[in-house]
Amino acid sequence: MKKTYTPLTNPDEIIPLLNKISAFGSLRDNQLQGILKLFKTVRYDEGEFIYKRGEPSSHIYIIKQGEVKMMIDDEGVFLELITFREGDCFGETSVIGIQSHSSSAKVVKPTELIVIEPKNLLNIFEADKEVFGILILNIARETARRLHHSNEALVSMLLKDRKKDI
Lowest mean pLDDT among 37-51, 52-66, 71-85: 71-85
pLDDT in tens, 71-82: 998 777 788 888
Residue with the larger pLDDT of the pair 112 and 13: 112
Per-residue confidence at 166, pLDDT binned at 50, 70, 90? low
The fraction of the chain above a pLDDT of 90, given in percent, is 47
In this structure, the chain runs to a length of 166
pTM, to two decimals: 0.85
Q: Is the pLDDT of residue 98 over 90?
A: no
User: pLDDT value at position 162?
Assistant: 75
CATH class of 6-165: mainly beta
Sequence spans of domains, the chain: 6-165
Average pLDDT taken over every residue of the chain: 89
